[in-house]
């Protein structure tokens, strides 16, 4: 369109308006609105940086306190103690898994019988209490009321008996026996039905019988467990002294900050008297530098002691390893035992490295700013609000986000692209008219609704499926947590399928029809045309669809917040496929969960903004790559 300036109108012509005309004003108004998008984007970047960048100096100071107060020194020993505890718990779990695995039938039977009984007591419990209350001694019996109560009790009983859980491991006769016991059970009865008790006894005796051959194993575990007692008590003593030093340091920091605020205020006040007052206050707030040297010196005196304890623990742990059984009969127990054995050399080498670390540690090593950055990006712990020390390491969150994205895309890519190919290439117009609106409609489902479905429906269904005997061959089954990476991944797959579908379908649509015609003219079949001609031609568009789907999955908040299980821990990769059935936390979820609870301006608050910056950069990077592919496709 020709601009005003280019028109061939004489300067003196009366149609030619000079300066700011109404038309110009309108034009500038619209232009400024278009510029608003740039302003918003700049504001987002500026404010994220403004709130986030203060994180690194603040975190550096926290890490410095951590070192000066000696917490870091204690953590060298504590890390080994925790590793020891984990090994003990692994062995214990292996032990009980072995016993329970051997008495699996009895265990399930007892559990199912108890479940029947519990379903009954849960339903009738409140009414039973009422009856017992009104027939207690000292209360006047009211026959009319009691009759109503009894009638209610019968109603509840009928309801309970109609909704009993399934019991695949009990024979029909046994089930009938329990049910008939429940049918005639009086409200006053206190002992469990006979069969429930008998099955529990049966289980206990079977477990005792299977524990017999494992006695040596038990003794080994116990002796291993008691090996760390001395180290544990030494750590306890050191902990007390270092936490008090840390508190003193933190208080001094707070006072110093107050003083700076007062000084700044004093500079802004014009009235000399007022200024004097503020300066005096500031002087009063001047904190005494807390004494860190004396407690540190006494901590350093413990160095030889700590080294000795470590060496002892290393010696006894090395002696334990050959005493462990070679293998266990039950799959789960054997897996746990093997995991423990695999972790053993690592544990031993950590133990033997500890003395060197302990003797070379000094509290005077400076903490550079880069240490805070490295600790944030590669830290394996995200611990906040604890009494010991806060750590902001995003690895557990990033692994959670990535693994959920992996599950989601593994499902969504084949399904989304497959259905795009089908709808675009093979479906009749009528099929298209059904499928397209449905998928568009899935896109319209709010994410919080999907999360709700995940919590109340999908998670429970998955859990029930996973305990079924016929599905035990699936790796990772039975799952322990209802809400886990897999559940979140499935729901996110459902969310990203529409994105991938519609973009991939567009890409297929954009392939010139001449390609298909040429291919068919050469005698290629429909499948050959689709897979050898159309898809390669649309490939970069499809890749862009996948990337945009990935961007959507990584950035999604509500579903993962509700469904991922929110456990801040790097998933245990030694569990094989079971790793996908562990709960986890995510980059987006942590912001949503914690931002509402942190004090404004605190290091934790700023850490959440840095996580936000990271998300922003990652998602924009993914989208930018995707748009590159789109542009290449349209060229």
Partner 1 sequence: MFDPEKLIRKGRPKGHIKEVLIRSLLAGTTYLIVLIAVLLFTRIIVDGAPAILSPKFPFVDLEFLTAKNETLHVFDDAQGTRHQLAASAYSRYVAEHQGENLYNEQTFSYSGGGIAGPIVGTALLTIGSILLALFFGVSAAIYLAEYAKQSPFIHAVRLAILNLAGIPSIVFGLFGFSVFVLAVPVLTSDPSDRSLLVIPLMIGNYAISFQGWNSSLMAGCATLACMILPVIITASEESLRAVPQGFRDASLAMGGTRWQTIRKCVLPYSLPGILTSSLLAITRVAGETAPIMFTAAVAAKDDLPWEGLSNPFGILSSQVQALPYHIYTLAARIPSSEYTQRAQYGSVLVFLILVATLSIVSMVLRARIRRKLKW
User: Smallest distance, Å, CB 401 to partner 1?
Assistant: 11
* SS3 assignment, position 385: coil
Residue closer to partner 1 by CB (options 167, 557) is 557
User: Smallest distance, Å, CB 308 to partner 1?
Assistant: 50
> How many CB atoms within 10 Å of residue 281?
15
165 torsion bin: left (phi>0), alpha (psi -120 to 50), beta (else) = beta
Strands (E) located in 184-328 = none
> How many CB atoms within 10 Å of residue 506?
18
Residue closer to partner 1 by CB (options 579, 603) is 603
User: Smallest distance, Å, CB 606 to partner 1?
Assistant: 11
Residue closer to partner 1 by CB (options 388, 422) is 422
User: Smallest distance, Å, CB 487 to partner 1?
Assistant: 13
User: Smallest distance, Å, CB 118 to partner 1?
Assistant: 15
Angle at 153 (CA atoms; ends 149, 156), nearest 5 degrees:
135
Residue closer to partner 1 by CB (options 195, 439) is 439
User: Smallest distance, Å, CB 77 to partner 1?
Assistant: 38
- 460's CB contacts (< 8 A; 6+ apart) are 482
Residue closer to partner 1 by CB (options 93, 436) is 436
- Helical H segments across 556-586, by residue range: 558-563
Q: Which position has the token pair 């005003």?
A: 4
Tell me which residue of 77, 10, 102, 622 sits closest to 329, measured CA to CA. 102
Residue closer to partner 1 by CB (options 96, 616) is 616
Tell me which residue of 167, 496, 221 sits closest to 337, measured CA to CA. 221
Residue closer to partner 1 by CB (options 139, 184) is 139
Residue closer to partner 1 by CB (options 36, 346) is 36
User: Smallest distance, Å, CB 284 to partner 1?
Assistant: 21
Quote the CA–CA distance of 575 and 582 in Å, as a whole number.
9
User: Smallest distance, Å, CB 414 to partner 1?
Assistant: 7
Residue closer to partner 1 by CB (options 33, 364) is 33
7 torsion bin: left (phi>0), alpha (psi -120 to 50), beta (else) = beta
Phi, psi of 392 (to 5 degrees): -120, 80
To 10 degrees, what angle do helices 587-594 and 603-634 make? Answer: 140
Q: Which position has the token pair 């000066």?
A: 68
The helix (H) or strand (E) run that includes residue 420 is: helix 395-421
User: Smallest distance, Å, CB 155 to partner 1?
Assistant: 10
* SS3 assignment, position 620: helix
Residue closer to partner 1 by CB (options 76, 435) is 435
- C-beta separation of 63 from 289 below 8 A: no
Instruction: Name the token pair of 380.
Output: 């394996």
Q: Which position has the token pair 């009990």?
A: 170
For residues 255, 260, 263, 267, the Cα torsion angle rounded to the nearest 10 degrees is -160
User: Smallest distance, Å, CB 558 to partner 1?
Assistant: 5
């Amino acid at each position: 369109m020709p601009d005003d300036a280019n028109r061939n109108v004489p300067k003196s012509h009366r149609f030619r308006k000079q300066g700011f005309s109404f038309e110009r004003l309108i034009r500038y108004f619209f232009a400024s609105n278009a510029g608003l998008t740039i302003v918003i984007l700049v504001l987002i970047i500026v404010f994220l940086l403004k709130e986030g960048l203060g994180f690194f100096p603040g975190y550096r100071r926290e890490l410095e306190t951590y070192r000066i107060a000696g917490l870091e020194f204690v953590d060298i020993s504590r890390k080994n103690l925790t590793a020891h505890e984990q090994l003990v718990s692994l062995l214990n779990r292996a032990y009980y898994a072995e016993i329970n695995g051997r008495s699996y039938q009895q265990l399930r039977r007892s559990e199912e019988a108890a479940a029947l009984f519990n379903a009954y007591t849960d339903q009738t419990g409140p009414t039973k209490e009422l009856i017992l209350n009104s027939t207690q001694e000292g209360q006047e019996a009211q026959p009319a009321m009691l009759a109503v109560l009894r009638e209610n009790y019968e109603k509840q009983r009928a309801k309970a008996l109609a909704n009993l859980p399934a019991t695949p491991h009990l024979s029909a006769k046994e089930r009938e026996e329990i049910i008939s016991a429940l049918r005639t059970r009086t409200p006053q009865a206190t002992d469990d039905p006979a069969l429930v008790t008998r099955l529990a006894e049966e289980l206990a005796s079977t477990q005792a019988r299977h524990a017999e051959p494992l006695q040596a194993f038990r003794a080994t575990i116990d002796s291993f467990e008691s090996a760390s007692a001395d180290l544990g008590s030494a750590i306890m003593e050191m902990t007390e002294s270092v936490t008090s030093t840390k508190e003193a340091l933190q208080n001094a920091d707070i006072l110093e900050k107050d003083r700076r605020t007062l000084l700044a205020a004093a500079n802004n006040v014009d009235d000399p008297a007022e200024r004097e007052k503020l300066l005096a206050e500031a002087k009063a707030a001047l904190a005494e530098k807390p004494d860190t040297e004396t407690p540190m010196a006494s901590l350093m005196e413990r160095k030889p002691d700590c080294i000795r304890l470590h060496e002892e623990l290393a010696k006894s742990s090395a002696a334990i390893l050959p005493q462990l059984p070679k293998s266990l009969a039950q799959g789960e127990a054997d897996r746990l035992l093997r995991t423990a054995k695999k972790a053993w050399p690592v544990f031993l080498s950590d133990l033997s490295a500890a003395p060197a670390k302990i003797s070379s540690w000094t509290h005077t090593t400076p903490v550079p700013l880069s240490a805070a950055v490295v600790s944030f990006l590669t830290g394996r712990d995200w611990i906040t609000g604890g009494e010991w020390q806060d750590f902001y390491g995003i690895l557990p969150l990033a692994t959670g986000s990535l693994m959920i994205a992996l599950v989601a895309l593994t499902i969504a890519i084949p399904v989304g692209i497959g259905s795009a190919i089908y709808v675009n290439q093979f479906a009749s117009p009528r099929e298209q008219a059904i499928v397209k609106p449905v998928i568009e409609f899935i896109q319209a489902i709010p994410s919080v609704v999907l999360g709700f479905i995940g919590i109340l429906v999908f998670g429970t269904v998955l859990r029930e499926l996973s305990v079924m005997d016929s599905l035990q061959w699936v790796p990772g089954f039975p799952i322990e947590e209802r809400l886990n990476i897999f559940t979140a991944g499935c729901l996110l797959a459902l969310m990203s399928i529409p994105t991938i579908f519609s973009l991939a379908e567009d890409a297929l649509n954009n392939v010139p029809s001449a390609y298909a015609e040429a291919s068919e003219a050469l005698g290629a079949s429909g499948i050959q045309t689709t897979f050898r001609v159309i898809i390669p031609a649309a490939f970069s568009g499809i890749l862009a669809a996948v990337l945009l789907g990935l961007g959507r999955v990584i950035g999604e908040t509500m579903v993962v917040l509700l469904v991922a299980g929110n456990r801040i821990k790097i998933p245990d990769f030694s569990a094989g496929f079971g790793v996908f059935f562990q709960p986890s936390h995510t980059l987006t979820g942590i912001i949503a969960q914690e931002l509402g609870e942190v004090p404004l301006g605190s290091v934790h608050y700023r850490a959440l903004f840095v996580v936000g910056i990271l998300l922003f950069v990652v998602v924009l990077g993914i989208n930018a790559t995707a748009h590159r592919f789109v542009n290449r496709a349209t060229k």
